[in-house]
Amino acid sequence: MTDFKELTILEALKLLEKGKISSKELVEETLKQIKKVDPQIKAYIYVDEEGAIKSAEEADRLIQKGERKKLLGIPISIKDNICIKGLPTTCASKILQNFVAPYNATVIERLKAEGAIFIGKTNLDEFAMGSSTENSAFFPTRNPWDLERVPGGSSGGSAAAVASRMGLGSLGSDTGGSIRQPAAFCGVVGMKPTYGLVSRFGLVAFASSLDQIGPFATTVEDTALLLQVIAGHDPKDSTSASVEVPDFLKSIKEHEKTSFKIGLPKEYFESEIDSEMAKIILEIIEKLKKRHKIKEISLPHTEYAVATYYIIAPAEAFSNLARYDGVKYGFRAESKNLIEMYKKSRALGFGKEVKRRIMLGAYALSAGYYDAFYLKASKVRTLILHDFLEAFKEVDLILTPVTPTPPFKIGEKISDPLQMYLSDIFTIPVNLAGLPGISVPVGLTSDNLPVAVQAIGPHFRDELVLSLAYQIEKEVNKKFVPSILSE
């Protein structure tokens, strides 16, 4: 059988079609890999062994009958804040520890319709709040490149699962970088689509004006394929855009040799970046100069992005998490009266970071502080958005680092919330502006840790972002396989 470590979704689809492998073999290989490496990595909260094998057998029946679907027989994992009917959806929180989703998220319906197989639910920072997956109420996930380091967050489980080949792809969610940053830390491709391109129905809401579901895979084309299946207007999500979804794989091929005007924001490159990482990134930029016009641009309000985000996101979270009250679902504490029930259920059910953000959000929205905090931040958000719109008058795409450092050690930043927040500096502005952004691996440090770059595009030009990422991938010409896989 083909080396499973080298298999992409597109390659697997060809092999399945030709009958060289079966979906059941693919799924069994995935489950074997999970049994082998997940005790160390802990990417999965829940593995649906029975369901996955059953779906694989059904997929094989359809393949044999000659059915062709976009993801028929392909095993993927799903971040545990996305609802799959009948499976637990815990959001890595004690407050939803025993919650079983009563319906499928729209993205799940769409993946199912194209024959995808759900292996299980992956670990995350509780309610998607965090940048390291250390805030999971259950356990931290470890980076497959170095088990003493974080995989990033909040979609750390998804990124680690894909990097260690426990599945061929995954879906995560990104509110301030939660797909792109773990993708960078784990040496895989991760994309946050334009806000509104992918339905949020069935995604447990954290910050409604910032959240987006997006794909993880080992290649740009695989990522594009996953995005193709999940993208598009959904009447069940009133914030979903009525746009025509381009054919992403076709666009990637069409733009294989296109020369783009690429902007490098000076505020990003002048900030503190690990010197080895910066060297690797600048090397790839030099290589891109052969075909592309690279110029310096300015995004003057960059320095205000973290403060803006950490007012707006917690404010929206304060509102979205009010529903966890112990009444209709989730953890309910023993109590003598209603208010005690609310307070005890939430105090015992939520973790530290979640409570911190709910409190921040409440403060920013409260009487006397609303103008100075939430309203002010929302105005600065306009300025940040405007910076990007101005930049896109001069350039087609923007290229930046994803993180200021390589993956840090478990425990290193967890005791200083503000330090953790500041590390999201390159990813946050993209969510504030609602733009599409992708993280693509470009090299390894001398410690064998992945380094990535981020490509950002204008609203609803996701196909351009994917196209540049594909060109970068071809230029880099390297397979990123963590050492844990060669043991």
Partner 1 sequence: MAISLEEVYKIAHLCRLEFNEEEAKVLTEELSKILDYFKKLQTVNTENVAPTFHTLKVKTPFREDEVKEFPYIEDILKNAPQLYERMIIVPKVVKTP
360-389: contacts with partner 1 (CB under 8 A): 360, 362-363, 366, 372-373, 375-383, 385
Q: How far is CA 178 from the centre of its chain?
A: 5
By CB under 8 A, the residues from 154 to 213 that bind partner 1 are 195-196, 209
- Minimum gap (Å) between residue 440 Cβ and partner 1: 23
According to the binding rule CB under 8 A, does residue 325 interact with partner 1? yes
By CB under 8 A, the residues from 221 to 280 that bind partner 1 are 235, 238-239, 241
- Minimum gap (Å) between residue 88 Cβ and partner 1: 11
According to the binding rule CB under 8 A, does residue 437 interact with partner 1? no
Q: Is 240 helix (H, G, I), strand (E, B) or coil?
A: coil
* Residue 319 is among the residues annotated as catalytic for this protein: no
Task: Let me know the angle formed at the C-alpha of 103 by 98 and 104, rounded to the nearest 5 degrees.
Answer: 110
Angular region, 423: left φ>0, alpha ψ -120 to 50, beta rest: alpha
Type of residue found at 155:
S
Q: Which of 24, 42, 70, 79 is catalytic?
A: 79
Closest CA to 143 of 156, 126, 128: 156
By CB under 8 A, the residues from 101 to 160 that bind partner 1 are 102-103
**Distance (Å) of CA 239 to CA 195, 206, 273, 310:** 8, 14, 35, 22
* Residue 155 is among the residues annotated as catalytic for this protein: no
- Each residue 382-421 as x (binds partner 1 by CB under 8 A) or -, in order, gives xx-x-------------------------------xx--x
| Candidate list 58, 356, 444, 481; residue touching partner 1; CB under 8 A | 356
Please state, in angstroms and rounded to a whole number, the distance separating the CA atoms of residues 437 and 399.
Answer: 10
Please state, in angstroms and rounded to a whole number, the distance separating the CA atoms of residues 328 and 331.
Answer: 9
**Token duo for residue 146:** 């170095």
According to the binding rule CB under 8 A, does residue 94 interact with partner 1? no
* Residue 393 is among the residues annotated as catalytic for this protein: no
Decide whether 238 or 446 has the Cβ nearer to partner 1: 238
- Minimum gap (Å) between residue 355 Cβ and partner 1: 6
| Candidate list 57, 283, 303, 394; residue touching partner 1; CB under 8 A | 303
Task: Let me know the angle formed at the C-alpha of 167 by 198 and 73, rounded to the nearest 5 degrees.
Answer: 80
Q: Which of 55, 155, 178, 467 is catalytic?
A: 178
- Minimum gap (Å) between residue 151 Cβ and partner 1: 25
By CB under 8 A, the residues from 451 to 470 that bind partner 1 are 459
For residue 3, give every residue at least 6 positions away whose Cβ sits within 8 Å of its Cβ, in sequence order, or none.
none
- Tell me which stretch binds partner 1 (CB under 8 A): 256-264, 279-287, 288-296, 330-338: 330-338
Q: Which of 55, 131, 154, 199 is catalytic?
A: 154
**How many Å is the maximal CA-CA distance in the chain?**
71
Closest CA to 41 of 175, 193, 143: 143
**Token duo for residue 478:** 């390297």
Residues annotated as part of the active site:
79, 154, 178
